[in-house]
Amino acid sequence: MPKVTIDGRTIEVEAGTNLIEAAKHAGVQIPHYCYHPRLSIVGQCRMCLVKIGDGPKLTAACTVKIEKDGMEVHVDDPDVKATQNGMMEFLLINHPLDCPICDQAGECGLQDYSFKHGQAFSRFRFEDKRTYPGRERIPLGPNVMLNMNRCIQCTRCIRFTQEISKTSELSFFERGWRTEIGNFPGKELDNPLSTCVVDICPVGALTSTQFRFAERVWYLDKDPSLCTGCDVGCNITLEHRGGKIRRYKPRINPEVNDHWMCDFGRTTFQRYSALPRLAAPRFRPDAEEASPTNWEDAIQVIVDRLSLANGGPPPVFLGSGKLTTEEAWLLVKLAETVGSPHRPLWVETGPERTIPNPHGGVSGHDAAPNRRGAELAGLHNGTGISAKELLYGDGADDCPLLLVADSDFGDAAHDPQVIERLRRARFLVVMGWADTPLAQVADVALPTATHAEKDGTFINVQDRLQRFDKAFPPRGDVLSAVEVLTELLSALRPGDWQPGEAAAVFDRMAQELEPLSGMTFRHIPAPGVQLQLNASLTPTAAE
């Protein structure tokens, strides 16, 4: 591999590495606006000019690839600093001073570089700046708003629609200093990845209609997590404040979603505020009205019912593709403990969603993130009562106890006819974060955490195991499903099980399931682990 020296630091990089990326590896920042690692090179903003060797002119770093040994690059150089200073002055001459009301404030490349590479005064002697009258707060589509006065014409958004989404809605119009961004006539920026142009805009020219003026970004806590909208398994940054999710943004993983995520995935957290929350255990004795209870009594009621079922028809445990792998495995263990072969899995099929990446992209079809993890854990429709029989047949009619592990397992959980069929079970237990109509008719309703409030793993459509951690604790009298299920197992098999956390459950599960052999929860790497799953793990999608 070729070696390059940047400001006296010699590093080895792969042949063909862009100089800006090589500088990052060396711990040197080369400022840039138009460059993006997944977009074509245009050398347009001129912020990344550096001195290479003893060359007479400065060179745009974004246009340089490291191909052979011996290149010497100077970033901390008087000529380079003067050029960066001059470019910032040009960019700021016509830029509006509206940082206090700009949604990009706090994560703006223009702000950052003006502090690092600009100057604290202006030499501009004229009262009037160039403006674009009538080109503020222009909706380019349902998800993106344009403020042309803030645009620095880096063309990232144009190149994204041409090269990544391949929908080409945006372009330059007019010429010279009147050049502006806009939609082609008759085209709206409404492709499935449209909000990604907001992520890559280095200034406040493009803002999200979903997040616009919702929160100042410096108040947000940010934690790595996974999108739950489908089985692509996009890596995200979950941004939250005060126990409430404010925004999802894509987190870089070249093996899955690269730098991108779809507009649908960005909105999936809104379900947590759109549906009522189950905040405390509830028990309905006989035909009486359901009333709040404590966890100890709720667990004991279920344990007593499971014990009474011995000798008769076995209980049924309905799983969901929204459960973590650890939760699904514990549900299987609970079924095995009471000798039940009935552990069906329900996963609804959604529209195909495709996310580009350097390897050709990933397409998901499930309306849940973890069907493959649930199947690996042992949930299936192969033996015993199937999920379809429960939801659309008479599978629950002779059931002494039906435990539904997810109160919001899909659209079917809100269907009155499906709820009526499940309610035919002699005793209905429903776990979940949402107080759905199904949870409201349950004999026992157990409140569990959302994915933002717990740890766990999902396995995506590529059979890639990915881990996520709790972003914030749940409110109210809420436990994670792992805690609930280990409590039940501990009560049924004292000594064999102890109430535990997801990490301990995963480590125990990895000792039993061959594809996870040798793994531990805390050592799952950030990009995930590509598993070799048995070909017998076939789809269990809804019909």
- Answer yes or no: do 249 and 363 share one domain: no
- Answer yes or no: do 306 and 186 share one domain: no
CATH assignment of the domain containing 33:
3.10.20.740
Position 164 in a domain: yes
- 415-421: Cβ within 8 A, 24+ apart: 418/391, 418/392, 421/390, 421/391, 421/392, 421/393, 421/394, 421/395, 421/396
Position 110 in a domain: no
Alpha helices in 309-395 (DSSP H): 325-337, 371-377, 387-392
How many distinct helices (H) and strands (E) make up the chain? 15, 27
- Answer yes or no: do 269 and 287 share one domain: no
- Answer yes or no: do 189 and 302 share one domain: no
Task: Determine contact, residues 527/255, Cβ cutoff 8 Å.
Answer: yes
HSE-CB of 151 using CA atoms within 13 angstroms: 27
Backbone angles phi, psi at 362, to 5 degrees: -130, 135
Domain end: 66, 91, 116, which one?
91
- Answer yes or no: do 496 and 437 share one domain: yes
Structural domain count, the chain: 3
Position 241 in a domain: yes
pTM of the model: 0.93
- Answer yes or no: do 253 and 359 share one domain: no
- Answer yes or no: do 352 and 411 share one domain: yes
Ranges of the chain whose pLDDT falls below 70? 127, 287, 309, 311, 534-543
β pairing state of 59-60 and 65-66 = unpaired
Backbone angles phi, psi at 320, to 5 degrees: -145, 150
The whole-number pLDDT of residue 307 equals 85
Position 78 in a domain: yes
- A 10 A CB-CB count for 305 gives 18
Domain end: 252, 274, 296, which one?
274
Please name which of 475, 469, 471, 427 lies closest in space to residue 448, comparing C-alpha atoms. 475
Domain end: 239, 256, 274, which one?
274
Position 538 in a domain: no
CATH assignment of the domain containing 368:
3.40.50.740
- Answer yes or no: do 131 and 50 share one domain: no
The whole-number pLDDT of residue 541 equals 46
- A 10 A CB-CB count for 467 gives 25
- 13-18: Cβ within 8 A, 24+ apart: 13/66, 15/66, 15/67, 15/68, 16/65, 16/66, 16/67, 17/65, 17/66, 18/61, 18/62, 18/64, 18/65, 18/66
Reported in sequence order, the residue ranges of 356-434 that DSSP labels E, i.e. its strands, are 362-366, 402-404, 428-432
Position 122 in a domain: no
- Answer yes or no: do 403 and 254 share one domain: no
Position 11 in a domain: yes
458: left (phi over 0), alpha (psi -120 to 50) or beta: beta
CATH assignment of the domain containing 237:
3.30.70.20
The whole-number pLDDT of residue 275 equals 96
Task: Determine contact, residues 202/109, Cβ cutoff 8 Å.
Answer: yes
d(CA 129, CA 325): 58
The whole-number pLDDT of residue 473 equals 95
What is the tens place of the pLDDT at every residue in 256-307? 999 999 999 999 999 999 999 999 999 998 767 889 999 999 999 999 999 8
- Answer yes or no: do 287 and 434 share one domain: yes
Please name which of 58, 309, 46 lies closest in space to residue 153, comparing C-alpha atoms. 46
CA distances from 364 to 98, 230, 234, 256, 408 (A): 41, 6, 10, 11, 20
The whole-number pLDDT of residue 383 equals 79
The whole-number pLDDT of residue 535 equals 52
Task: Determine contact, residues 359/255, Cβ cutoff 8 Å.
Answer: yes
- Answer yes or no: do 434 and 503 share one domain: yes
The whole-number pLDDT of residue 537 equals 56
- Answer yes or no: do 215 and 315 share one domain: no
The whole-number pLDDT of residue 300 equals 96
Position 263 in a domain: yes
Give the range of the structural domain holding residue 217, as residue numbers without chain letter: 127-274
